[in-house]
Chains A and B, each alone.
Chain A
Amino acid sequence: MILYDYILSASCYQVRLMAALLGQPLTTRAVNFHPAKEHKSPEMLKLNPKGTLPVLQDGDLVLTESAEILRYLTRDTPDWRGQDEVWLSFAAALNGSIGTARLHDILSYDADIDAVRRAGVQHLRQLEAHLVEQRFDGMIFLTGHTPTIADIACFPTTALAPDGGVSLDVYPSIRLWMRAIRSLPGFIEMPGIHRLHELEAAP
């Protein structure tokens, strides 16, 4: 399996993280998304006419939607599937709000920055409210006691919110949820999302 990858892309990280958590080997091919716009190169457009990343290639199969890729990777692991449809589209909405703010702040993308940050805060409040309900029911993840592709789809953009000037300080349930994901065996980091450093015992 080959992932056409950009190191700073939250959507590419979704795929790297999912494969790592499943212990599936993944070959990454770095694409010079910034500054060279290689995802729009003739070679890449032949593979994916939309000119977007990530692109997953497995033999003759080429997948270009993050949600599709997550479903494909977990096709034989039902534990990772749940009531995730609604959260996969929520992840796309997060990408449009917080993800856009991040691209604006880091790579100077055009955006109505106040509007996307405001929408991002709305999304985070919805996520927080849902996770609070889950916790009242004794669950830590979005759809149950164990993580599913819903969590992996929503986690990267959420965790990278501060990159786009949106603070996560005021969402304790989101923070706990992120901690639970970072604690999963096989977890890998990306720039802006740090691994969990071991906590020292209190003195």
Chain B
Amino acid sequence: MREAVDDHWYPVGLLSGLEDTRKTLLLGREIAVGRNGAGVFVRDAAGRALPTVARFGHLWTSPGQPTRDLFTIPEADTPGRQLVDVGSVRVKCSPLRAVENFLDIAHFPFVHTDILGAEPHTEVERYQVDIREEVDEVWATEVKFFQPQAARSAEGGIKTEYMYRVPAPTCAVLYKTCPPRPGEWDVITLFVQPLTEEWCEVWPWMALYDDQSTMAEMVSFQQMIFMQDRSILENQIPRKLPLDPGMEVPTQADMTSVAYRRWLKRIGYTYGAQLVAA
């Protein structure tokens, strides 16, 4: 049986930042997140303890009855990586729009100019997209793009290869060519906490091979990238992510987005989505 919206796992805080009890929202309902003598906790408005998982530097919870464990990222466990708590940024947009934007490559030269992309290198070459039934995830592979400065540790422009993975409706994982270690993938994630259908708290997290940058530099790089997206996310219309084809005309470069929307519809994940054609 498919999980209901409530039965998924959601990020609600950084494990390293849980000193005081924090009141926040999850799916429109108030929760309290914190740490006490007994460990970390999440409680709903009625004081009921919600299930928790500590993984990827974050605390995760579910207001429903999760039938599956939270996904794993085996690549992030390989030794020698810097695990980067990027912190959170709040955005007035649908949680699904935040994920969709993360999956898009075509905007790099225009929004992340001279960092993740640059004119005239704007072409997105053909890549592979699958909805992997056996794991119930969306994957895009063989994605290649020219980047002037792909990471803090990158000097000069390189053709970067990526894989994108959507392991849960409000989470996305990006695997990216690792400049100092060819053959390994850097792992960059976007974990989204849906505050409401049109407001979210975004928790990026990274597991990188980088011996040169300080932690503050890696955090700063990723916050810069995400904040370049924020104003665009807040101005997207319609506010909710349309799952049915309507006025928007997707192009070849939007294949991942098309698969993501199709998958959301298939699994019945409609929180932050719009079902009537725009």
A contact residues vs B (CB 8 Å cutoff): 5-8, 29-32, 34-36, 38, 105-108, 162-163, 165, 190-192, 195
Beta-carbon contact of A105 and B219 below 8 Å: no
B85 nearest CB neighbor, chain A only: A35
Q: Are B216 and A38 in contact (CB under 8 A)?
A: yes
Contact for A7 among B92, B215, B220, B231, CB less than 8 A: B220
Q: Which residues of chain B in 217-268 are interfacial with respect to chain A, using CB atoms and an 8 Å cutoff? A: 217, 219-221, 223-228, 230-231, 234
List B167-200 residues whose CB lies under 8 Å from chain A.
none
Instruction: Chain A residues near B86: list those with CB within 8 A.
Output: 35
Chain B contacts of A195 at CB under 8 A? 113
CA distance A36 to B223 in the complex (A): 13
B219 touches A32 (CB 8 A): yes
Query: Closest A-chain residue to B215, C-beta based?
Result: A32
Chain B residues at the A interface, C-beta cutoff of 8 Å? 14, 16-17, 85-90, 92, 113, 201, 214-217, 219-221, 223-228, 230-231, 234
Q: List 12 A-B contacts (CB under 8 A).
A: A30-B217, A30-B220, A31-B216, A32-B220, A35-B14, A35-B17, A36-B216, A36-B219, A107-B88, A107-B89, A163-B231, A192-B228
Distance in angstroms between the alpha carbons of A190 and B231 in the assembled complex: 12
Q: A35-B16, A107-B89 are known contacts. Are A191 and B216 too (CB-CB below 8 A)?
A: no
User: CB distance B223 to A192 under 8 Å?
Assistant: no
Partner of B223, one of A8, A29, A38, A163: A8
Closest 8 CB pairs of A and B: A35-B87, A191-B227, A32-B216, A30-B216, A30-B220, A7-B220, A30-B217, A34-B87
Q: Chain A residues near B234 (CB, 8 Å)?
A: 162
Minimal beta-carbon separation of B79 from chain A (angstroms): 23
Q: Determine how close the nearest CB of chain B comes to the CB of A15; give it in whole angstroms.
A: 15
Q: Complex formed: what's the CA distance from A195 to B231 in Å?
A: 14
User: What residues of chain B lie closer than 8 Å to A29, measured between beta carbons?
Assistant: 216
Given contacts A191-B223, A192-B231, 17 further A-B contacts (CB under 8 A): A6-B220, A7-B221, A8-B227, A30-B216, A30-B220, A31-B216, A34-B87, A35-B86, A35-B87, A35-B219, A36-B216, A105-B92, A107-B88, A108-B201, A163-B231, A165-B92, A191-B227
A30 to B221, CA, bound (A): 9
Q: Is the CB of B88 within 8 A of A35?
A: yes
